[in-house]
Amino acid sequence: MGKPTGFMEYDRENAPAVAPKERIKNYDEFHTPLSAKKQQTQAARCMNCGVPFCQAGMDIMGMTSGCPLHNLVPEWNDLIYTGNWEEAYNRLKKTNNFPEFTSRVCPALCEAACTCGHWEDPVTCKANEHGIIENAYEKGYADAKPPRVRTGKRVAVVGSGPAGLAAADQLNKRGHSVTVFERDDRVGGLLMYGIPNMKLEKWVIDRKINIMKKEGIEFVTGANVGKDIKPAKLLREYDRVILACGAKNPRDIKAPGRDAKGIYFAVDFLAATTKSYLDSALKDKKYISAKGKKVVIIGGGDTGNDCVGTCIRHGAASVIQLEMMPRPSENRAEDNPWPQWPKVLKTDYGQEEAIAVFGSDPRIYQTTVKEFLKDKNGNLCGLKTVKLESTKDEATGRMQMTEVPGSEAKLDADMVLIAAGFLGTEKYVSDAFGVKMNQRTNVETAKDSYKTNVENVFAAGDMHRGQSLVVWAIREGREAAREVDESLMGYSYL
């Protein structure tokens, strides 16, 4: 512990953000990292707890507390404080393949479980992680390190999201020859086309992919396995196959008028914007434009927030976000104690920008769509909404959201984005391989295993776990890689 009294002497300092009205003029990341000296001061706040909940990654009341990757947070905080940035990088890389991604997009489960945060402000673990990895690239610590020996075994990874990339990275380090198949035109999966540029600039992905290529991993884009490439070919040419295709089936809203023109899934909206931005800085117009539109976003999670920020950058006339659940409290409730994940109000970057541009929070709570309204030409012209309230189901004893009689209202809208989550993997992939699915439409495996019912085929990430966080996808990819390695070699040190 570098500074035993650091948590008492220093206040938390966050990386400054560009003002909302300024940052909406572009699609760039908008935080300016702290200097190395200031980051060392922030690392000094780490208490090196006897029980470091920050790295626990355990389930408490159905929610994850601490980092699922079990990042050695107190260790690398101490190393930052003492100025040993190279060893901090080495400790970080033992548990996390992609800190350049998680330090930008992770909701920082580590900070929510930080003991400092129980009393005052938590340690800036996420920003410290960002400092470690960016310093490593600058100093050359993160350069390519190809394996010295190859095993002669070949593994195919289908999908280049965080789970697929993590599995590929681990297996390549072990000496297996790995080929990653991606159906899109760019590598990255969810990271590339599911997360807007202002949260994760795509050169960050390309930088890491280029290093992985130098280390010997082969990437094949435009390869739609299950359609253009038959599973039999992969099973014939590779010793093992890992399916990491994500959970890309968007949940729909089944309400009258759903066929109105102007209703889109959020994932399609965000992906089209990113692709057009990367291809032509949006000059090709090959995206779903919200310019001048009265936009209603259905869904209150990260994807909904990303839609808010993107619509504002498009130049939307107005943006409203509908959330089914009640507005969270600003402070922890008595039944939500630390170190549980705090179920408190979070105003993210998109909502901050909406407040700055339109003068009010875009979120309307405890509200859902009753009907999509159309004009005579079939174009969306509004929504009929209804308020919801929390009631107890007498049969099950569970709380549920039910409609409030007489609470219907009309909402003007000529564009709707559905950001209501995902239902599981796309069926054509699982059907092509013949893997079993569970009731949640995820690939079924035995408990604590990633092996499917099909010989030599494994599954990981959202395809296996269901829609989740990038950090969980990386953990799944790492654990699947270990199981694959054991099946190939009889043991594993991964």
pLDDT of residue 424: 86
**Residue located via tokens 């739609």:** 224
What percentage of residues in the chain have a pLDDT greater than 70?
100
- CA dihedral over 331, 336, 338, 344, signed as positive or negative: negative
Which ranges of 257-382 does DSSP label H, i.e. alpha helix?
266-280, 302-314, 349-358
pLDDT of residue 197: 98
- pTM, entire model: 0.96
According to DSSP, residue 196 is labeled -
Q: Is the pLDDT of residue 1 over 70?
A: no
Q: How far apart are CA 194 and CA 269, in angstroms?
A: 10
Q: Is the pLDDT of residue 182 over 80?
A: yes
pLDDT of residue 3: 86
CA end-to-end distance (rounded Å), the chain: 28
Q: How far apart are CA 488 and CA 240, in angstroms?
A: 8
Residue 481: phi and psi, rounded to 5, are -60, -40
**Reduced 3-state DSSP string for 223-261:** CCECCCECHHHHHHHCCEEEECCCCCCECCCCCCCCCCE
> Band of the pLDDT at 396, cuts 50, 70, 90?
confident
Q: Which residues pair with 64 in a beta bridge?
A: 59
Residues 329-382: tens digit of each pLDDT? 999 999 999 999 999 999 999 999 999 999 999 999 999 999 999 999 999 999
- CA dihedral over 78, 494, 109, 300, signed as positive or negative: positive
Q: Is the pLDDT of residue 469 over 70?
A: yes
**Residue located via tokens 């310093």:** 135
Average pLDDT (475-482) is: 98
Q: Calculate the average pLDDT of the chain.
A: 96
User: How buried is residue 66: exposed, middle or buried, by Cβ count under 10 Å (0-12/13-18/19+)?
Assistant: buried
**Highest mean pLDDT pick, 208-212, 249-253, 439-443:** 208-212
pLDDT of residue 460: 98
Of 313, 384, 222, 299, residue with least CA distance to 25: 313
pLDDT of residue 181: 98
pLDDT of residue 423: 87
Dig out the tokens for 453 from the structure: 């019912």
Residue 235 C-beta-side C-alpha neighbours within 13 Å:
13
Average pLDDT (183-191) is: 97
Question: In sequence order, which residues have a C-beta less than 8 Å from that of residue 114 and are 6 or more positions away?
Answer: 53, 54, 122, 123, 125
Residues 52-90: tens digit of each pLDDT? 999 999 999 999 999 999 999 999 999 999 999 999 999
**Residue located via tokens 């300016």:** 32
Q: Is 385 helix (H, G, I), strand (E, B) or coil?
A: strand
- CA dihedral over 379, 380, 382, 388, signed as positive or negative: positive
Residues 152-176: tens digit of each pLDDT? 999 999 999 999 999 999 999 999 9
**Residue located via tokens 């012209």:** 381
What percentage of residues in the chain have a pLDDT greater than 90?
92
Helix, strand, coil percent values for the chain (each to nearest 5):
35, 20, 45
What residue type is 287 in one-letter code? Y
**Reduced 3-state DSSP string for 44-93:** CCCCCCCCCHHHCCEEECCEEECCCCCCCHHHHHHHHHCCCHHHHHHHHH
Q: How far apart are CA 250 and CA 329, in angstroms?
A: 29
Q: Is the pLDDT of residue 186 over 90?
A: yes
All domains of the chain in start order, with CATH: 6-139 (1.10.1060.10), 154-248+423-489 (3.50.50.60), 263-418 (3.50.50.60)
Of 336, 333, 332, 338, residue with least CA distance to 118: 338
Beta carbons of 192 and 205 less than 8 angstroms apart: yes
